[in-house]
Amino acid sequence: MRIGILGTGNVGRALAAAWSRAGHDVVLGSRRPGDEELLTGLKELLQVGLRVDDPAGTAAHAEVLVNATPGTASVALLESIGAPALAGKVLLDVAVGFLEDESLSHQVVSLGEEIQRAFPDTRVVKTLCTIDREVMVAPDSLVGPSTVFLSGEDAEAKRVVGGLLADLGWPAESLLDLGGIVTARGQEHFALLFVGIALATGDFRFNIRFVPPVTDGANTGAA
């Protein structure tokens, strides 16, 4: 599959490397694709066949476009590409926006919703924003199974994204479909709890797991 990743930071690089290893044709998108410092930092990825393009070229390449840009800049970057170029594409959104005071930039309407509203013909799926980049691409690095969430309006887009998550090592039983794009609010707001847990434990490499109730009749009485 042709994957375009907008953003060349730690998240974008981790996802690019993992999907490239899984056999996908990956292009990284940057506003400065010819910058020598950037290309030096991407040397290992370039050596295994990935390439860098500008945002418009990255979108044109992609069957699935991944938003791994800072959440405060995501919509403006997508607007620079233009709605016609994004129409019909699956857009996998992993971004969360933080302000300088470390509060969320999207406190009422999520970034995922904002993107979907700005680009109604683009099939937005929010996922992977509740975990660190290392766990994104190596779920088996954790002790036991854990959960990754999906939010979006398009069932086929979620199926496509589910396949890409499988290529990262996420088994089907770890995927939890939360419903429409409005549920992206919960995913993004989890970032605040995520940071709290990370600071309390001294480690960002963790995840949470949805644990259902006992259903054998032993614990079915009223609370």
Number of domains in the chain: 1
Does residue 208 lie in a domain region? no
Tokens of 153: 């309006």
Rounded Cα–Cα distance for residues 215 and 147 (Å): 20
Is 209 a member of any domain? Answer: no
- 168-196 pLDDT, tens digit each: 999 999 999 999 999 999 999 999 999 99
For 177-216, the three-class secondary structure string (H helix, E strand, C coil) is: EEECHHHHHHHHHHHHHHHHHHHHHCCCCCCCCCCCCCCC
Per-residue pLDDT, averaged over 16-25, amounts to 96
- 57-116, pLDDT tens digit by residue? 999 999 999 999 999 999 999 999 999 999 999 999 999 999 999 999 999 999 999 999
pLDDT tens for 109-165 read 999 999 999 999 999 999 999 999 999 999 999 999 999 999 999 999 999 999 999
Phi–psi pair at 120, nearest 5 degrees: -65, -20
Give the Å distances, CA to CA, from 128 to 61, 147, 161, 207.
22, 10, 11, 11
- 216 within some domain: no
The CATH number of the domain holding residue 178 is: 3.40.50.720
Q: How confident is the model at residue 217 (pLDDT cuts 50, 70, 90)?
A: low
pLDDT for 215 equals: 86
**Pick from 91, 180, 77, 175: nearest CA to 131:** 175
Domain that residue 121 falls in: 2-201
Classify residue 223: in a domain, yes or no.
Answer: no
101-125 in b/e form (b: 16+ CB < 10 A) is eeebbbeeebbbbbbbebbeebbbb
DSSP state of 174: G
At residue 19, the pLDDT reads 97
Per-residue pLDDT band for 216 (boundaries 50, 70, 90) equals confident
Q: What pLDDT score was predicted for residue 223?
A: 43
Q: Is position 97 within any domain?
A: yes
Please state, as a whole number, how many other Cβ atoms lie within 10 Å of the Cβ of residue 139. 19
